Amino acid sequence: MKDSLGNVQRVLVLGGTSDIALATVTALTRDRPGVRITLAARPGDRRTAAVASLVTVGLLVTEVDFEATDRTSYERAIASVFDAGPDVDVVIVAFGLLGDQEHAWQDIDAALELAQVNYTAAVGCGVLVGQRLRAQGHGAIVAMSSVAAELPRRSNFLYGSTKAGMDAFYTGLGDALASDGVQVLVVRPGFVRTKMTAGLDAAPLSQVPEQVADIIVAGLRAGRRTVWAPSALRWVMSGLRHLPGPVFRRLPI
């Protein structure tokens, strides 16, 4: 159970090697060691390293195999975690692909893989986790969206389109589950220096995962439904949305 200050006892990370998710788990449990964490991810070195990084901060970590492109895999993973009890306080939906955007919009396999992972699987997991948290009568979902979900841009519109769908789904899921005591926090980070963005040029207002994590934890504890990271991006995006198309398209973003 979550306590009155937002300390938690059990967390599930779908996409358990995500840098932002791991930073979020660390920030969320900073004042309360011994929290149970389950990392759902593909088996391998990255998962092993993720486990090690959380064990060193005093968390009790377990692993479960999870493959976002395989419905059976994620159904089994989610069922096994919830069935093993006790209640899961927070589920972080952190899996996602960025890919080579310029290649992806011209290649059907690459495009559909992005849609499958970032949207279809995110919806599938949201439905399953939503059912479980609803039955518990409490809990929170952190859905890792992106500012790209708010506004399609030439440079990453395929990624943006998948996140836009995912973002809309989780925003609505939050409304649907509010009366069941379940909070859904949609997170819209800007550019974050992570494994996913390695090799890309940093955009303005770029940040590290720990900064995003602090914003997520504060948002969870304040009962928010949407947060931007950095927070100022909320107003930046709002401004950009109101620019005339020809002006917007000429911006170097």
**What residues line the site for other proteins (CB under 8 A)?**
1-5, 7, 9, 31-32, 34, 86-87, 134-138, 179-182, 218, 222-223
Give the nearer residue to other proteins in terms of CB position, either 147 or 229: 229
Q: Which long-range contacts (C-beta less than 8 Å, at least 24 apart) are formed by 113-120?
A: 113/69, 114/158, 114/159, 114/162, 115/161, 115/162, 116/68, 116/69, 117/68, 117/69, 117/162, 118/159, 118/162, 118/163, 118/166, 119/162, 119/165, 119/166, 119/169
- Number of other residues whose CB lies within 10 A of the CB of residue 236: 16
Q: What residues form DSSP beta bridges with 62?
A: 38
Could you tell me the smallest distance in angstroms from the CB atom of residue 27 to other proteins? 11
Q: How far apart are CA 221 and CA 208, in angstroms?
A: 21
Cβ proximity to other proteins, 96 vs 139, nearer residue: 139
Active-site residue (options: 74, 119, 159, 170)? 159
Rg of the chain, C-alpha, whole Å: 17
Minimum distance, C-beta of residue 129 to other proteins, in the bound complex (Å): 14
Instruction: Output the smallest distance, CB 178 to other proteins, in A.
Output: 8
Active site residue 159: yes
Q: How many CA atoms lie within 13 A of 169 on its CB side?
A: 23
Nearest distance in Å: CB 29, other proteins = 11
* Minimum CB distance to other proteins smaller for 29 or for 207: 29
Distance CA 122, CA 185 (A): 14
State which residue, 222 or 243, has the beta carbon closest to other proteins. 222
Burial code (b: 16+ CB inside 10 Å, e: under 16) for 132-144 equals bbbebeebbbbbb
**Which pair of structure tokens corresponds to residue 77?**
């993973």
Q: Which is nearer to other proteins, 71 or 224 (CB)?
A: 224
Closest approach, Cβ 35 to other proteins, in A, equals 10
CA distance 50 to 60: 12
Tell me which residues are annotated as active site.
Answer: 159
